[in-house]
């Protein structure tokens, strides 16, 4: 079976304020083949999200000029738990309405300063008029609609803490964080908020040669005919699913983007990536609709 992609780009995002390299900064890994078709990986580290966005655009553009198809993975949520868009009274397809809402509310400057805590507080005010479902902020960012600590058990109990895809991967050491958590070790809320507008702009720049899975493709196995018209397919990944031991001198995030890119390349080589784009056999139609229209899914979950 022929490979679907020629290169695999993985971005490890951050919501950090201020410029930063090394740990807890933006890392981008690229797995591709040399002239002898041997797989090799490059990693890049940039100090700001703006630089990361520019680098991703450049890498995709270079591959596009060569006629390559690229799988581009980001390590943050592409969707929010079911019902979020409705609580915000947004119109249209829930995932797309959420992306538009974030793009118009999140201000992320070239020096990495951003208003993610203010946006979380605004969303809490609009959704519940309480300090939930979003929670977690440094003391100086706390206010009526956003607290430093997790809300009491049962607060906003009808709002799911996790998406279906996180429930699917929660076992043993794999314990993904909820997108509602904005601050603290491993929190993904800020990355999601600052990351989605980047993916949206990237797809806008690609036009019809870019697509986002599963929202734009359907949650189904993909084949060569599906990806043939594309230069880039953008997906959500969770690097913790792929075991990795950092090599000598490698940062943890650097090792993770390398290992994730390599793992997806090997899956493609083996013909297993095509089916990873679809749900497990017997998945009910309501869940398929929920994933395709609002929540999204982690590739390989």
First to last CA, the chain: 22
Q: Which of 231, 176, 189, 227 is nearest to 209 (CA)?
A: 231
Q: What is the pLDDT of residue 174?
A: 86
Percent of the chain with pLDDT over 90: 89
pLDDT in tens, 261-283: 999 999 999 999 999 999 999 99
pTM equals 0.96
pLDDT in tens, 9-43: 999 999 989 999 999 899 999 999 887 888 999 99
pLDDT in tens, 212-268: 999 999 999 999 999 999 999 999 999 999 989 999 999 999 999 999 999 999 999
Cite the beta strand spans of 134-238 per DSSP E: 210-212, 232-236
Q: What is the pLDDT of residue 1?
A: 63
Distance CA 175, CA 123 (A): 25
Phi, psi values for residue 159, rounded to 5°:
-95, 120
- Residue 173 clears pLDDT 90, i.e. is over it: no
Q: What is the pLDDT of residue 90?
A: 97
Q: Which of 239, 238, 231 is nearest to 56 (CA)?
A: 231
Q: Which of 257, 249, 211, 212 is nearest to 13 (CA)?
A: 257
């Amino acid at each position: 079976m022929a490979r679907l992609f020629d290169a695999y780009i993985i971005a490890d995002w951050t919501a950090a304020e201020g410029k930063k390299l090394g740990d807890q900064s933006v890392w981008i890994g690229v797995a591709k083949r040399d002239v002898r078709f041997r797989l090799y990986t490059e990693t890049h580290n940039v100090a700001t999200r703006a630089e990361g966005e520019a680098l991703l655009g450049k890498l995709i553009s270079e591959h596009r000029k060569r006629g390559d198809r690229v799988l581009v993975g980001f390590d943050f949520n592409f969707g929010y738990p079911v019902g979020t868009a409705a609580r915000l009274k947004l119109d249209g397809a829930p995932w797309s309405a959420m992306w538009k809402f974030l793009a118009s509310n999140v201000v992320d400057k070239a020096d990495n300063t951003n208003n993610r805590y203010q946006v979380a507080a605004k969303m809490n005010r609009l959704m519940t008029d309480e300090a939930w479902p979003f929670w977690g902020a440094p003391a100086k960012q706390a206010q009526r609609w956003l607290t430093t600590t997790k809300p009491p058990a049962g607060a906003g109990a009808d709002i799911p803490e996790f998406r279906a895809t996180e429930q699917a991967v929660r076992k043993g050491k794999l314990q993904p964080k909820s997108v509602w958590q904005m601050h603290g070790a491993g929190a993904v809320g800020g990355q999601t908020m600052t990351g989605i507008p980047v993916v949206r702009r990237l797809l806008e720049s690609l036009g019809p040669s870019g697509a986002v899975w599963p929202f734009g493709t359907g949650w189904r196995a993909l084949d060569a005919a599906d990806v043939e018209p594309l230069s880039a397919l953008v997906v959500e990944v969770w690097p913790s699913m792929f075991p990795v031991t950092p090599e000598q001198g490698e940062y943890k995030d650097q090792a993770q983007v390398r290992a994730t890119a390599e793992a997806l390349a090997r899956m493609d080589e083996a013909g297993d990536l095509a089916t990873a784009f679809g749900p497990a056999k017997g998945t009910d139609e309501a869940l398929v609709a929920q994933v395709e229209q609002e929540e999204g899914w982690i590739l390989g979950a």
